[in-house]
Amino acid sequence: MALKSKIEELQKRKEEVLQGGGEQANAKQAAMGKLTARERVIALLDEDSFHEYDLFVEHEARDFGMDNKVLHGDGVVIGTGSVYGAPVAVFAQDFTVAGGSLGMMHARKITKIMDYALRMRIPLIGINDSGGARIQEGVNSLAGYGEIFWRNTLSSGIIPQISVILGPCAGGAVYSPALTDFVFVVDKISKMFITGPEVIKSVLGEEISQEELGGARVHAEITGNAHFFAESEIECFEQIKKLITFIPWNNSRKARRFEPKEPKPEYNISNIVPNDAKQPYDVRDVIKALADDSDFFEIQELWAANIVIGFGRLNGETVGFVANQPLVMAGVLDVDSSDKAARFIRYCDAFNIPLCTLVDLPGYLPGIDQEHAGVIRHGAKLLYAYSEASVPKMTVILRKAYGGGYIAMSSRHLRADFVFAWPGAEIAVMGPEGAANIIFRKEITEAANPDEMRRKKVEEYKEKFANPYVAASKGYIDTVIEPKETRKQLLHALEVSSTKIADRPAKKHGIPPF
């Protein structure tokens, strides 16, 4: 065959594969408001950067009528490209081909690109849109999932792993996203659950829709499985691109440095936190008053909103912010907020991202619900994560820091490198009211006017302990600063810690309270 006709053959073969599941299946995908696998990859990556591999892979199944079925690319698209110039490896399940179901060769394509990403130390982005294990391929598809989970775990903490749920992700398939660092969902498109509505109906006799069971909102607001929620696929891709700008390619690098920019003047740090310790405010305004260009990229915004986590930059360098949110439940720590912050701290630590913690909380949430939900175990994750983290750790106590909350929120005792407190900081075992009621109980009950006596004792306690100076006198706080000095102090702290070495005794690994 002449070269020309060989090239024509290649072009013809390519054309066929690029149709995916064909016109009808593509139209069905579009009718569901979904892009096709290749459209998604192209929309996500830099223009003309996508290089696809394994186009001509075919399945090898022979049972249940599979022997004469053609499944283009075996229902998954893999390749490499870039996002704002950062190299990335990608796979995107193609729902138009056998419902994106995962057979043996489909899994091999995914594991091939996962191995590639790990070997090249570049981020992996997986777009999930699949009916799950390919039923006709039996144990081979289960083996495929196992191979994926193993690689997710192996790569964890070495390369960033990002999961995008753009269709069904059901049964055991959910565990690959759950093992990755960030999960993105899109309203009305993402569906994630272990057992679907049909199984629930047959086992429990309950009717429930896919949306109610595991739609995007469920995972963004209730379960915390999703880290980012978008209204459309295109918005979701913008979020992924933004995330990539904040994180390094792998754990041996730093995130890309940007041109430093001062925060926007509308965020005046001296006017955000009210004097009265009971008055709420939005701690995100404090972060925006500190971060370069007031740019704060929040993670898990809709879940456990009593703690705020996300990325910003200080002097051009990515920093992970962790802050109690007095606007929601006074910023208390509970089961979910401890989980949320602990995982983020471990992410930042694994990827060389310094931590900046803003403290204003009344402590851990009391009550039988929390105790029985395991607040001891979950709360311990936060202590573990901060203690273990060896990246530079900077803490600013804005206002209240009571009890266990004071210790847990990156205190000196858990080896924060720099601890600053504002003049209005109150550092004590508990709030003045509770404290006075306990330690002056006798005086209060025996007084001619107990209310008057309580007020007096509360004031006495406040005067003595509810300030930053007792902690500062012991060196637990490095310096008490005015709010307006905070950014300058943080920039200096960051500069001084750029060569930080935190020695730890050698061990295989610790046993965190998972």
Stretch that binds ligand HXC, among 36-44, 93-101, 333-341, 506-514 (CB under 6 A): 93-101
Count interface residues toward ligand HXC (CB under 6 A). Answer: 15
Q: Does 148 bind ligand HXC (CB under 6 A)?
A: no
Least CB distance to ligand HXC at residue 164 (A) = 17
Q: Does 157 bind ligand HXC (CB under 6 A)?
A: no
Nearer to ligand HXC, 28 or 278 (CB): 28
Q: Does 133 bind ligand HXC (CB under 6 A)?
A: yes
Stretch that binds ligand HXC, among 129-137, 259-267, 369-377, 386-394 (CB under 6 A): 129-137
- Between CA 292 and CA 352 the distance in angstroms is 19
Instruction: Give the DSSP H/E element, type plus range, for residue 384.
Output: helix 375-388
Dihedral (CA of 402, 408, 410, 414) sign:
positive
Nearer to ligand HXC, 23 or 460 (CB): 23
Nearer to ligand HXC, 37 or 425 (CB): 37
Nearer to ligand HXC, 20 or 131 (CB): 131
Q: Does 320 bind ligand HXC (CB under 6 A)?
A: no
Stretch that binds ligand HXC, among 35-43, 55-63, 125-133, 327-335 (CB under 6 A): 125-133
CA 167 → CA 101, 139, 153, 170, 235, distances in Å? 12, 23, 24, 10, 16
- Between CA 269 and CA 136 the distance in angstroms is 61
Q: Does 432 bind ligand HXC (CB under 6 A)?
A: no
Q: Does 134 bind ligand HXC (CB under 6 A)?
A: yes
Least CB distance to ligand HXC at residue 75 (A) = 9
Nearer to ligand HXC, 75 or 320 (CB): 75
Helices assigned H by DSSP within 431-497: 432-439, 441-446, 450-465, 469-473, 486-496
For tokens 């007096």, name the residue.
456
Least CB distance to ligand HXC at residue 179 (A) = 12
For tokens 């550092």, name the residue.
427
Least CB distance to ligand HXC at residue 168 (A) = 4
- Between CA 447 and CA 457 the distance in angstroms is 11
Q: Does 172 bind ligand HXC (CB under 6 A)?
A: yes
Dihedral (CA of 461, 463, 466, 470) sign:
negative
| Beta pairing class for 191-193 and 161-170 | parallel
Stretch that binds ligand HXC, among 79-87, 128-136, 250-258, 276-284 (CB under 6 A): 128-136
Q: Does 328 bind ligand HXC (CB under 6 A)?
A: no
Least CB distance to ligand HXC at residue 468 (A) = 52
Token code pair at residue 253: 């690098």
Q: Does 79 bind ligand HXC (CB under 6 A)?
A: no
Nearer to ligand HXC, 98 or 305 (CB): 98
Q: Does 101 bind ligand HXC (CB under 6 A)?
A: yes
Q: Does 135 bind ligand HXC (CB under 6 A)?
A: yes
Helices 335-350, 375-388: inter-axial angle, 10-degree rounding? 20
Q: Does 405 bind ligand HXC (CB under 6 A)?
A: no
Token code pair at residue 466: 């509810």
| Cβ 168 vs Cβ 131: under 8 Å | yes
Instruction: Give the DSSP H/E element, type plus range, for residue 270.
Output: none
Q: Does 170 bind ligand HXC (CB under 6 A)?
A: yes
Least CB distance to ligand HXC at residue 480 (A) = 54
| Beta pairing class for 76-83 and 86-93 | antiparallel
Q: Does 98 bind ligand HXC (CB under 6 A)?
A: yes
Q: Does 204 bind ligand HXC (CB under 6 A)?
A: no
Task: Determine how many CB atoms are found less than 10 A away from the CB of residue 252.
Answer: 10
Q: Which of 513, 344, 492 is nearest to 417 (CA)?
A: 492
Q: Does 194 bind ligand HXC (CB under 6 A)?
A: no
Q: Does 171 bind ligand HXC (CB under 6 A)?
A: yes
Helices assigned H by DSSP within 125-256: 139-155, 175-179, 197-204, 210-214, 216-217, 233-246
Q: Does 173 bind ligand HXC (CB under 6 A)?
A: yes
Q: Does 142 bind ligand HXC (CB under 6 A)?
A: yes
Nearer to ligand HXC, 79 or 168 (CB): 168
Q: Does 354 bind ligand HXC (CB under 6 A)?
A: no
Q: What is the DSSP letter of 418?
A: E
CB within 8 A of 99, min separation 6: which ones?
Answer: 75, 130, 131
Binding interface with ligand HXC (CB under 6 A): 98-99, 101, 131-135, 142, 145, 168, 170-173
